[in-house]
Structure 1
Amino acid sequence: MSIQRITFGASLAAITLLSTLAASAAPGIATGAVNVRTGPGTGYAKVGTLAKNEVVDVKQCQGSWCFVDRDAGTDGWVSKNYLAAYEGGGGGGGSTDIPFNFGMSVGPGGPSFSFGIGEAPPPPPPPAPPVPAKACFFKGNNFTGAQFCVAVGNDDPHLPGGWNDTISSIRLQGGAQVTVCKNNWYAGACTTYSADKPSLGGYNNAISSYQVF
C-alpha cells in the first residue's frame, strides 16, 4: 500500500473521529422540550426529556444530534435543533445554534485537524496586491510637481527636452532601482538609487539618461 493511500486513510479516520468528538464542553440551553435518547437518532430509546430553558453542557455532536451532560436527569443525546448557545444570566436562552467548527490543513508534516466548540474565527483578509515595481521622476523636491513613471526594464538614453536636466526627486516602488546619468547615453557621472530620493543633491536638475531595473 502506498504512503499516499496510508496518509489518506489516516486522514479519513481522523476526520471521522474528530467530527464526532468536541475538544471541550460548551454551555447550551434547550429552546423547547425535547426527548433525551441513548443514541444520536430517533431510533434510540428515550431516557428522559429536557425542559425548555434547561441548561446543559454539550459534550459532543454527531450530525444533527448532540450529547448533553445534565445537572438533573439522565445524560443523553438530543436533537441539535432544540439547543442554543447559553451565555448565562437569567432565564431564557439565546436564539443561535450551538456553534461547532471543524478545520483541516495539510502541511509538510502531513494533515492536521482542529475541532472545537465556539465560533469559527473569521477568515483572514485577502493579501494586498503586490506593489508594481517602478520608478517615478518628479520635477520638484519631495515628490512634487510634474511627474512620470516607468516600470522595471525601461530606460531612456536621451531624456526629451521637457525633462532633460529638470528632475529633482525620484520615488521607487516594489523593489525597483534606478541608475541615473548626467549625460546622454548613460555617460558622464552616474549613480544608482535603491530607495526614495526626495532630493538629489549633485544630480538635482542634472539627469539626462536613466535605466530602471
Structure 2
Amino acid sequence: MSKSCIVFGAAIAAISLVPTIAVLAAPGYATSSVNVRTGPGTGYAKVGSLSAGEVVDVKQCQGSWCFVDRASGTDGWASKNYLAPYQGNGGGQSKPDIPFNFGMTVGSGGPSFSFGIGDAPPPAPVPVPAKVCFFKGNNFSGAQFCVNAGTDDPNLLGGWNDSISSIKLQGGAQVTVCLDNFYSGACTTIASDKPLLGGYNNAISSFQAF
C-alpha cells in the first residue's frame, strides 16, 4: 500500500483541549461503536457516539485520543484504538490493522504536529528556529527586531539603547541582557517570554543571545 504523510506546524500561545486550528484532516472510520467526548480522556463528558463504520475526519490526535469532525452529530474526542484510515475508493474501507501515525512536539515556539498513515513512524516535526525578539512596548508591542541564537551586541545602537520593554523567545532560545555596554553592569539571563522587564525596562544596553 502506498504511504502518505502530512507535516504541519502551528504556533499558538497555549494548546486547547478542543482544537481551534484544523487546516488539514485525514479521513477515518470507526471500527466499532465508540463514545465521543468533550476532551481526550474518559473523564470528560460524553457528547455522542460513533457507530461502527461511521466515516469521520480526524483533525488531530493527543496521546491515544483523536479529535474527529463528524458529518452529522457532535464533534469531539474518540479513542484512537477504535479508528482506522478510510480510503474511500468505491466506498470501501481500508484494513483496520493499518495504524494512524501521529506525533506532536511542544516547545517555547509553540506546538508542531506530524501525521501519517501506514506502518512507518510519523516524520519528525519541523523544528522551530531559535530566535530572540525585542520590543519597544510592553506586552510585545511597538517596534521590534529579532536576532538568531548566537547573536550578540555589545553596544545597542539605532535607537534601541535603553529602549527595550519586552522580549519574546522561540525555539528554545535564551538571552542575557545587561544594563551597560559590553555586557557590564547588572545582567540577567531570560529563558521565557517577558511581557514586562521590571528594572530592565528601557535600560538594556547590550545582549548575548544563545
Compute the TM-score of the two structures, normalised by the length of structure 1.
0.44
Q: Which structure has more helix as a fraction of its residues?
A: 1
Compute the TM-score of the two structures, normalised by the length of structure 2.
0.45
Q: Which structure has more strand as a fraction of its residues?
A: 2
